């Protein structure tokens, strides 16, 4: 059983977390608070679910409860329980998650069993009389009302290709990332599943990445400069490291061009010297990463 779980985690890029999500609709009369005007009780929400996270991102959290969010409503805040509530049913020590990096850090830090997340919705803008959202409980902001509005989706047979899920629901829709780092994480996970994923499954992510970040230097496996990525030691292991690798690749490409532009005699010795200069520059920049 353990070996099967490990194999599944390898196929999913190494991230596999079972979670429980509590959806809180502040306009719903069934929502229970500890005291009038106080915080919401986590375990009392009438709408909750259990799910498996494949990527540590805000979008992934919302995807798990998207079909439970009423029309016209959107996500106001996402909180994660750092520890189990004591006593059970009360409010656990929690933190508000406002970025994919914070979601990833939360999964490393939480000791809650099961892992608990709370998704709070904005109040109903059509309610009469209108009740405005209360101010945030700390210095951070709540998500704007258009948070995650009309997300871009795509089919990913590679992530849902096992027969059981196919028979139940067909190919699942996946939300496109909203960050440069998120796109790199998604592409790296797909590359690790190459035995199961056809090239065309990765292409929509590549195209959307370059479309959304058209002014950013992005290198993919079909590009000539990808050789600098493959030569890095250690290889990039996350979207954040991949962005650093792009910087190293750019340095390598510029060093190669500098050698080639310095002469009109493009003989084998010059090309070899240019390649060596390129790899040396890429390696030097890579070693400067945090």
Q: Which two tokens stand for residue 171?
A: 């190919």
- pLDDT for 139: 64
- pLDDT for 90: 67
Please report where in the chains the tokens 């259990």 appear, as a residue: 50
Q: DSSP character for 265? A: -
Q: Which two tokens stand for residue 27?
A: 């306009």
Please check whether residue 286 is in contact with residue 232, taking contact to mean a CB–CB distance below 8 angstroms. yes
Please check whether residue 23 is in contact with residue 68, taking contact to mean a CB–CB distance below 8 angstroms. yes
Strands (E), the chain: 17-25, 47-53, 75-81, 94-96, 115-121, 153-155, 173-175
| Domains of the chain, start order | 2-121 (3.10.20), 153-211 (no CATH), 226-286 (no CATH)
Please report where in the chains the tokens 């290889």 appear, as a residue: 235
- pLDDT for 192: 61
Phi, psi for 120 (deg, rounded to 5)? -105, 130
Whole-prediction pTM value?
0.48
- pLDDT for 276: 93
- pLDDT for 277: 93
Tens-of-pLDDT digits for all 290 residues of the chain? 444 443 444 444 468 889 999 888 877 765 655 544 556 767 666 667 888 888 888 888 888 888 888 877 888 889 899 988 776 556 778 888 988 888 989 999 999 888 999 888 887 767 667 777 776 666 667 777 666 554 444 444 444 444 333 333 333 445 556 677 777 877 776 666 554 444 556 777 888 888 888 888 888 888 888 899 999 999 888 888 888 999 999 999 999 999 989 888 878 888 889 899 999 999 999 998 87
């Amino acid at each position: 059983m353990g070996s099967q779980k490990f194999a599944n985690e390898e196929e999913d890029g190494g991230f596999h977390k079972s979670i429980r999500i509590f959806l809180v609709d502040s306009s719903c009369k069934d929502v229970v608070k500890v005291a009038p005007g106080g915080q919401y009780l986590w375990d009392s929400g009438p709408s909750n679910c259990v799910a498996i996270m494949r990527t540590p991102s805000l979008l992934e959290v919302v995807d798990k409860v998207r079909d439970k969010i009423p029309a016209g409503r959107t996500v106001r805040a996402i909180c994660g329980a750092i520890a189990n509530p004591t006593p059970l049913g009360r409010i656990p020590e929690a933190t508000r998650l406002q970025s994919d990096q914070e979601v990833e850090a939360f999964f490393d830090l939480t000791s809650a069993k099961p892992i608990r997340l709370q998704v709070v919705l904005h109040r109903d803008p059509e309610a009469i009389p209108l009740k405005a959202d209360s101010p945030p409980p700390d210095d951070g902001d709540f998500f704007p009302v258009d948070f995650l509005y009309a997300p871009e989706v795509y089919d990913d047979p590679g992530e849902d290709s096992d027969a059981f899920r196919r028979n139940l629901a067909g190919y699942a829709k996946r939300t496109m990332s909203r960050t440069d780092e998120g796109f790199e994480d998604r592409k790296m996970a797909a590359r690790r599943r190459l035995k199961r994923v056809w090239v065309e499954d990765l292409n929509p992510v590549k195209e959307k990445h370059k479309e959304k970040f058209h002014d950013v230097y992005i290198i993919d496996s079909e590009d000539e400069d990808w050789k600098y990525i493959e030569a890095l030691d250690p290889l990039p292991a996350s979207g954040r490291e991949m962005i650093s690798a792009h910087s190293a690749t750019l340095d390598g490409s510029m060093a190669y061009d500098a050698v080639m532009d310095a002469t009109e005699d493009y003989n084998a010795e010059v090309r070899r010297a240019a390649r060596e200069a390129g790899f040396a520059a890429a390696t030097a920049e890579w070693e400067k990463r945090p």
